[in-house]
Structure 1
Amino acid sequence: MTLPYGGDAWLVTRYSDVRAALADPRLSRAAVVNADVPRRQEMRVGPEGIMYMDPPDHSRLRRLLTRAFTRRRVEELRPKVESIAAELAENLARKGSPADFVEYFSWPLPTRVICELLGVPYSDRGVFRRGADALMQGDTLPHHEFTGRVNELVGYISRLIADRRQRPGGDLLSALIQARDDGDRLTEQELVSLTVVLLAGGHETTANQITNFLYTLLRHPEQLALLRRRPELLSRAVDELMRYIPLGTGHHAAMIATEDLEIGGVPISRGDAVYVHIHSANRDDAVFADPDALDLTREDNHHMGFGHGVHFCAGAQLAHMELEVALRVVLDRFPDLRLAVADDVIRWRSSLLVRGPLSLPVQW
């Protein structure tokens, strides 16, 4: 395919080929940083961060995150997430029907959770929401606005790191600072960029999926009714909704072949750019029976909604737990929940990285 900038690239769409490409060490993400490679937006990828690193540098940072998001630590967080979700559901109920689900529930929940995890003051959410929004929709913003918001976020995080060095706590940010200062396992730039990724990615993507999940269930009343009758399907439902709903419009940055290789029998030359289409892979009928149907009873659902390979989402377990809790609390608290407006009234994010309703008026 031909991209608006940088020329031609390969597009990988089948499930088996996407998995193979994402796991192939000969396809480099680091090679796209500040490079004139095939891309959909004028800006080049940068600055360097964990999403655009290859092993062994990526592995070094990944190990730090893996310890932070173990299954045990995520389960220890569950009661706190449940408490926050219950509080937000009551706030939504007090607001009265109809109300905007995005404003009163799906945005505050993951924002408060990531603030709790990192030790970031929730009162500062406006700063990192502006920065996160810019990172997720850089292609739709004027360049000066994009850089201004990102620089504001980086400046905020740098000041927060300096403050936490003086007054460390038991939060994840303090642990990362200790890894930087005592173990020399992080450079200062890596520490800042890793915190940006955690703060921005930790609430933006989950918030959009909470909204997407509810919207999709309300538009599939038979599946919603099934989930209400059989709440034991909740974990399976999260996986099926992750498979069924595209979080974004596809991978926004290419991978570059560092040597000649083949994908699905097609020769890829050294230096070629390769894109993978995860959402196409998640609808591959060679892997998923009736792939265009939402089926909350689907078993052995090996979707790639959280990615695959070395760049599989480090916070996947946390996101999965938050999505489970959000659905359970909302469906329990509002047994008659329904959309308050017609589909054509709902406005959607049009950014490159994430999709979801900007607001979702609901009633009960």
Structure 2
Amino acid sequence: MPEPEPLVLDPTGSDPDAENLALRERGPATLVDILGVRAWSVSDPALLKQLLNSKDVSKDGRAHWPAFAETVPTWPLALWVAVENMFTAYGKDHSRLRRMIAPTLSARRTSVLQTDIETLVNDLLDALDRLPAGESIDLREHLAYPLPIAVIGQLMGVPPYQRAEFRTVVDNVFATHLTAEQQAANTAALYSLLDSLIDTKRVKPDEDMTSLLIATRDEEGDGSTLSDAELRDTLLLMISAGYETTVNVIDQAITTLLSEPQQLAHVQEGRCTWHDIVEETLRHNPPVKHLPLRYARTDITLPDGQTIQAGDALLASYAAANRHPALHRDADLFDAIRPTKEHLAFGHGVHFCLGAPLARLEVTTALRLFFERFPHAELATDEAELRRLPSLISNGHTTVPVRLRHRSPSEGHRTAETGDTPSHYRHPR
């Protein structure tokens, strides 16, 4: 069967819904051009889960992608395939690296952060509460961004004065409209920040994950547990993955609830929980649309007769898969009370996102407390006028302008009876 012409993915991500529909219409997997690289985009959820679980599919480009050496020097997304951490590891190397990180991000350890996260959210909402009634505020900038930056900053021991710099370079890692030269400069700036953090923590260690990883590396001494490159790139992964994706989920959830008040009414009137809202957001608008890259270790025959050849690159197209009609009825509609909200937003198989419990906790807490404080908030512009992030990877908006329409002080900060875990609340001023 002759191969079709690759579908060229839009580096600015201007119309992901149309692009995802085009991918699904071309079959369970189809050839695409991702910034000049030929890859198989997999949008059928059953096939994608099968490939994500298969030992015949690797994330190690150095070992299993013949085009690695010639691609990395000039490809704008080189960092996504060239880092040396569990994101790009395969087999025993992946197991070794994952075992080191997994205990620090378990659901049990994450749950103890509940009160700290609530305090952070309430501090942000206190600042919003002081704004004049009717004033438009960008919630991406003033809620969705600062919360995960503060949480991951505390976990990793990033000093507050460095968090703004980390935000800038991490944003650019996800920006697919930059040139290879611009991305190379951004990578250099990112590694400079990481090296500075490592140097600081070696001199003055603390009770944070960066200090723990450095101690593990230095105690072994021979690199058998964690090499210098793996140490630096593991920090890169934890900071970037723990920040940008959570921002997008908060962004998308608030945007949807303010655009579709009947969905907000479901949780306010007890027909669903905030957990349901978060899971449907992850399904309907996952924080990552396409995740580069994986590689076929052997020839793989597809259900439609096409063959992914050994050495071909694969692109996990999570956003297209989440809305596949084989997975959900009326998949393009956001429905917080749909019976099942199965999705692939956090991946599947051995590379399933370790930070999923933390992301869910942050987003659930942010939404619950925000809508308790500002139940009559509204978008300050039409949803159609919101601008997408210039990225084929990151799935969010450049701004989320909202008018808060404060409640009267006599209403207080009532706890929503949604079945979620009760929390500590500040007294209204």
Coarse TM-score class (shorter-chain normalised) = over 0.9
What amino acid does structure 2 have at the position aligned with 1:159? S
Q: Is the 8 A contact 2:271 2:337 kept in 1?
A: no
Query: What runs of 5+ residues in structure 2 fail to find an aligned partner?
Result: 1-30, 406-429
Distance 2:34 2:146 in 1: 36
Q: Is the 8 A contact 1:111 1:125 kept in 2?
A: yes
In the alignment of these two chains, the number of paired residues is 361
Q: Counting helix residues as a fraction of each chain, which structure ranks higher?
A: 1
Aligned to 1:75: 111
What amino acid does structure 1 have at the position aligned with 2:238? L
TM-superposed deviation, 1:100: 1.3
TM-superposed deviation, 1:335: 1.0
TM-superposed deviation, 1:189: 0.8
Distance 1:144 1:305 in 2: 30
Residue 98 (structure 2) aligned to one of 62, 67, 72 = 62
Same amino acid, percent of matched pairs: 31
Going from structure 1 to structure 2, the CA distance change for 1:327 and 1:2 (only over 3 Å counts) comes to closer
Aligned to 2:17: none
Corresponding residue SS for 2:99? helix
Corresponding residue SS for 2:283? helix
Residue 17 (structure 1) aligned to one of 40, 47, 54 = 47
Q: Is the 8 A contact 1:29 1:255 kept in 2?
A: yes
Higher mean displacement: 166-175 or 5-14: 5-14
Distance 1:197 1:362 in 2: 31
The reply on whether 1:174 has 2:211 as its aligned counterpart is yes
TM-superposed deviation, 1:42: 5.2
Aligned to 1:115: 153
Distance 2:158 2:71 in 1: 36
Going from structure 1 to structure 2, the CA distance change for 1:34 and 1:273 (only over 3 Å counts) comes to closer
Q: Is the 8 A contact 1:5 1:37 kept in 2?
A: no
Deviation by residue 1:84-124 (Cα, 9 ceiling, x = unmatched): 00110111121333211122111101000001111111221
Query: What runs of 5+ residues in structure 1 fail to find an aligned partner?
Result: none
Residue 285 (structure 2) aligned to one of 242, 245, 257 = 245
Deviation by residue 1:21-61 (Cα, 9 ceiling, x = unmatched): 111111122124844469x9555432433322112111111
Residues 252-331 of structure 1 aligned to structure 2 (within 5 Å):
253-264=292-303, 266=305, 267-331=307-371
Distance 1:59 1:100 in 2: 41
Distance 1:349 1:27 in 2: 30
Higher mean displacement: 168-177 or 339-348: 339-348
Aligned to 1:52: 88
What amino acid does structure 2 have at the position aligned with 1:11? S
TM-superposed deviation, 1:353: 1.7
What amino acid does structure 2 have at the position aligned with 1:177? I
The structure with the larger Rg is: 2
TM-superposed deviation, 1:6: 6.1
Deviation by residue 1:146-178 (Cα, 9 ceiling, x = unmatched): 222221221121121122122211111111112
Aligned to 1:161: 198
Corresponding residue SS for 2:158? coil
The reply on whether 1:124 has 2:154 as its aligned counterpart is no
Q: Is the 8 A contact 2:76 2:178 kept in 1?
A: no
Residues 125-164 of structure 1 aligned to structure 2 (within 5 Å):
125-137=163-175, 139-164=176-201
Aligned to 1:186: 226
Distance 1:47 1:152 in 2: 15
RMSD (CA atoms)? 2.2
Higher mean displacement: 140-149 or 68-77: 140-149
Corresponding residue SS for 1:140? coil
What amino acid does structure 2 have at the position aligned with 1:142? T
Aligned to 1:106: 144
Going from structure 1 to structure 2, the CA distance change for 1:131 and 1:86 (only over 3 Å counts) comes to same
